């Protein structure tokens, strides 16, 4: 009899865990489909509720000026990992997102992370082309020393002016330890 009650309690606990029931929590919900690297405004989301036991997954206000890091479907809650740093605060409202291949050394041995405000020092044949302010959105490690992927937000004018140089230059990343993104 006791074994049966224990077994029933274990099954009930497992069912409760699988169903994910918990208290209803207010969350930010996308009003429509949002593309990756979209600058969020208050018109992009509404307040809804979801059943959860762990509030830490959900994005919290303020999200205006932040970029989505992946596409978000309509009626989906905004998760912390879906919402990037505040590009508008770091660079202004006109930003463009670019991806560049860099070496492990360029990302400071892998220590650069999402939200870091950095400068990209572009050079070719030992000659400096430009130094651009950037906000790190994503760092993807490669198996070796080369071809790490760095996704950054730049001021739109800088991205347009130096787009070809971003693809063909040697890139050194400069990071002031006192500066951190949003």
What's 2-82's CATH class? alpha beta
Taking only the tens place, the pLDDT of each residue in 109-146 is 778 889 999 999 999 998 999 999 999 999 888 766 66
Give the pLDDT of residue 5.
Answer: 37
Structure tokens at 129: 């082309």
Nearest to 150 by CA among 164, 136, 168, 165: 136
Give the pLDDT of residue 53.
Answer: 65
Angle ∠(43,46,47) on CA atoms, nearest 5? 150
Give the pLDDT of residue 134.
Answer: 95
In this prediction, the residues of the chain whose per-residue pLDDT falls under 70 are 1-22, 53-56, 143-146, 179-182
Q: How far does Cα 161 stand from its chain's mean position?
A: 25
- pTM for the full predicted model: 0.76
Give the pLDDT of residue 121.
Answer: 93
The residue extents of the domains of the chain are 2-82, 94-174
């Amino acid at each position: 009899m006791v074994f049966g009650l224990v077994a029933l309690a274990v099954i009930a606990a497992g069912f409760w865990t699988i169903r994910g029931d918990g208290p209803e929590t207010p969350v930010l919900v996308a009003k429509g489909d949002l593309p990756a690297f979209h600058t969020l405004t208050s018109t992009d989301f509404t307040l809804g509720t979801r059943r959860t036991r762990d509030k830490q997954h959900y994005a919290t206000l303020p999200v205006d000026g932040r970029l989505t890091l992946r596409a978000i479907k309509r009626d989906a809650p905004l998760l912390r990992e879906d919402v990037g740093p505040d590009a508008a605060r770091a660079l202004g409202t006109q930003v463009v997102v670019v991806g560049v291949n860099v070496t492990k050394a360029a990302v400071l041995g892998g220590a650069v992370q999402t939200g870091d405000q950095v400068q990209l020092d572009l050079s070719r044949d030992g000659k400096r082309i430009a130094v651009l302010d950037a906000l790190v959105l994503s760092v993807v490690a490669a198996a070796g020393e080369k071809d790490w992927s760095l996704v950054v937000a730049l001021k739109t004018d800088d991205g347009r002016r130096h787009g070809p140089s971003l693809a063909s230059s040697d890139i050194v990343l400069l990071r002031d330890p006192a500066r951190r993104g949003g």
